[in-house]
Amino acid sequence: MKKSFFITGTDTGVGKTIATVVFGTLLKHNGFDVGVMKPVQCAGNDAAFLKKCLKLKDPLEEINPYHAPEPLSPHLAFQRAKIKIHPEKIMDTYQTLRDRHDILLIEGAGGLMVPLMNNYLVCDLIKELDAELIIVSRLGLGAINHALLTIRQAREQGLKIRGVIFSALSKKILNLPEQTNPSAIKQFGAVDVLGTIPHLDLKILSPRNILSKCSVRVHWKTLVRNMKPPAAERLSAWDKEYLWHPFTQMKDWLDGEPLVIDEAEGCYLKDIQGNRYLDGVSSLWVNVHGHRKKEINQAIKAQLNKVSHSTLLGLSNPPAIQLAKQLIEIAPQGLARVFYSDNGSTAVEVAIKMAYQYWKNTGQTKKSKIAHLKNSYHGDTLGSVSVGGIELFHKVYRDLIFETIKVEFPDFYRCSSGKKYPAYTKECLEKLENFFKKQHVSIAALVIEPLVQGAAGMIVWPSGLLRKISKLCKQYDIFLIADEVATGFGRTGTMFACEQEKVTPDFLCLAKGLTGGYLPLAATLTTQKVFDGFLFDYKDQKTFFHGHTYTANPLACAAALANLKIFQKERVLARLQPKIKYLAKGLKKFYNLPSVGDIRQKGLMVGIELVKDRTTKEPFPWEERIGVRVCQEVRKHGVILRPLGNVIVLMPPLAISMPEIDRLLEATYQSIKKIV
Ligand SMILES: *Cc1c(COP(=O)(O)O)cnc(C)c1O
């Protein structure tokens, strides 16, 4: 159902524009899609003001088809500007805007009897539009006369009046005339009163300001009595008004339409309009066995009936204890203790702090520097940003973070010119060894993302390198911190990536898939040796001073236990192997697309790098946002993806089926083909 309202005044300068902004804001806030029109405008910039205040995307020429520069009655202003007003053109634009929006607010020029040209008054225009009238009246002595004149004239012309809205144009205290105007006009004019707009300072006019001052005093609901805003639009309006999304340029976001997910099942997400999408990136790399997995849901519900949260500071709880035991049982041999936190960044920070403090506690105070690989990503808190190497994400914060040592990494695809494999891998290793040889006395730990550097664009490690780096760390007494936040829980084809090269790190950081993607929980596993490095008398002050309030939340631990149980019961890792091969086979075809420069895969982690020129590997300029555009396109095929720059990431739940892999690949293929 669509509706239009024509907003006219009892006189000029009574606050028509303010009334339009106020109604528009209130309606938008409540989920209605609102458009505005100012058919004729003499001087001023009301139309632009409306467009800006209500964040409208319609072009200004549509909102205001006729504009004359002088502040005169339109018949004179347009005559002097040598512009002829064509009512048909106004009608055409009106139809366009009306079709585009649920509600169209049309702001008049002056009052009803204002001439637009010879033999054509504002009220003649209104008669042609299918719009109800909202009359804006000022408050004060004389207001009754003007309002009643307008009301009578409107009725004589056969116009339908929705009501009168009053506008307080100054901050003046409301005396008797102002207080009684609305009831008098209601009585003598037999009209609805739509409320009173208090004085609003145009300089600080914001939606927030309008909502707080007008929500109660302006009866916007009268305009939409039989209309219901679609829930989807209400939510999307509130999203844009109240939320700030992570890793998102909100300016772009505010210009777009948010996709709101409120249900999911298996590998599919469902938005509030009921559209289904294949969850192609496992809800940002976390989902393992699919959404609404019966066993995980039940485990959480069962735990809810016991206790939702109790602290691990000074107390313990059964799910936390059981999960710690099971994690140690499945982790690479040699890891002996579990320290919980809430997310991947904290899991890494815990490892860094433990490594650093271990050397302090044990008297080797010089071992204080942290090394990490080029292009690394370990999270967004300042400690994890310190060991991050992705310039775009990290450079703004350079001055806030601690100094680290960056280690060269043999990126297969984007290495400096002239480097060849496997020689380059060897070269990097030699550099690392030389560096360790010279500086090991000052290095506390090396942080890595084993087998795949995820956020860098799914850079897959050359095989054997992890094992060799691990050996070097042992040889030079440097802790190896393996950040398996992304690679853990089957992602790379084994439970943990480290297993594939028989490596036991000194620290293993886990998060994303730990609860199957249901609740935030993280764990940092370490060795007995590290643990023993903290066992001192209380008075020695060598305690590990770290802990988050929700550490080892029992609900999250219960979900994690259910997650691990499913791995066993459903033989997830064994059943994953054919899927990995199938995916690899399907990916080959992507090289048919000339823009595909490189395809990298490890298990169910895939990066498809798009390039402008395949031979020179010249990247697409980042401004073109090629990855974002492909991922927008893929939504039309019912698939959700999120890129990393020019790299299209495929990271479906381990539970994905073969036909779903086909769908994922086909949608991605067609989208790349279409966009690039
Ligand atoms: C996602 C990720 C993190 C950060 O995890 P959060 O839960 O987002 O803090 C750290 N390391 C790696 C390898 C990751 O992929």
Q: Are strands 522-527 and 335-341 parallel, antiparallel or unpaired?
A: antiparallel
- Topology annotation, domain 306-484+528-535+542-569: Aspartate Aminotransferase; domain 2 (3.40.640)
Residue nearest to ligand 1 atom 11, measured at CA: 378
pLDDT single digits (tens) 572-598: 999 999 999 999 999 999 999 999 999
Task: Kindly give the number of the ligand 1 atom that is closest to the alpha carbon of 384.
Answer: 10
Q: Where are the domains of the chain?
A: 3-224, 259-287+574-675, 306-484+528-535+542-569
Give the model's confidence band at 459: pLDDT under 50 very low, under 70 low, under 90 confident, else very high: very high
Task: Kindly give the number of the ligand 1 atom that is closest to the alpha carbon of 381.
Answer: 9
End-to-end CA distance of the chain: 39
Residues in the chain: 676
> How far is 143 from 178, CA to CA, in rounded Å?
9
Residue nearest to ligand 1 atom 15, measured at CA: 486
Pocket flag, ligand 1, residue 449 (CB < 6 Å)? yes
Q: Provide the 8-state DSSP code for 48.
A: H
Distance in Å, CA 352 to ligand 1 centroid: 14
All residues at 6 or more sequence positions from 339 whose CB lies less than 8 Å from its CB, including other chains: 350, 354, 523, 524, 525, 526, 544
> How far is 675 from 673, CA to CA, in rounded Å?
6
CA-nearest of 235, 179, 182, 241 to 210 is 241
pLDDT single digits (tens) 382-434: 999 999 988 777 788 989 999 999 999 998 888 877 788 889 999 999 999 99
> How far is 62 from 553, CA to CA, in rounded Å?
55
Residue nearest to ligand 1 atom 6, measured at CA: 344
Give the model's confidence band at 231: pLDDT under 50 very low, under 70 low, under 90 confident, else very high: confident
Residue 505 preceded by cis peptide, ω within 30: no
Pocket flag, ligand 1, residue 377 (CB < 6 Å)? yes
pLDDT of residue 338: 98
Neighbours of 318 (CB within 10 A): 14
User: Ligand 1, residues 340, 376, 377, 484: which to mutate, most atoms within 8 A of Cβ?
Assistant: 377
Distance in Å, CA 345 to ligand 1 centroid: 6
Task: Kindly give the number of the ligand 1 atom that is closest to the alpha carbon of 453.
Answer: 13
Q: Architecture of domain 259-287+574-675 in CATH?
A: Alpha-Beta Complex (3.90)
Reply yes or no on whether the pLDDT at 292 is more than 90. Answer: yes
Give the model's confidence band at 345: pLDDT under 50 very low, under 70 low, under 90 confident, else very high: very high
pLDDT of residue 394: 76
- Topology annotation, domain 3-224: Rossmann fold (3.40.50)
Residue nearest to ligand 1 atom 10, measured at CA: 378
Phi-psi region of 201 (alpha: psi -120 to 50; beta: other; left: phi over 0): beta
* For residues 527-555, average pLDDT: 96
pLDDT single digits (tens) 466-483: 999 999 999 999 999 999
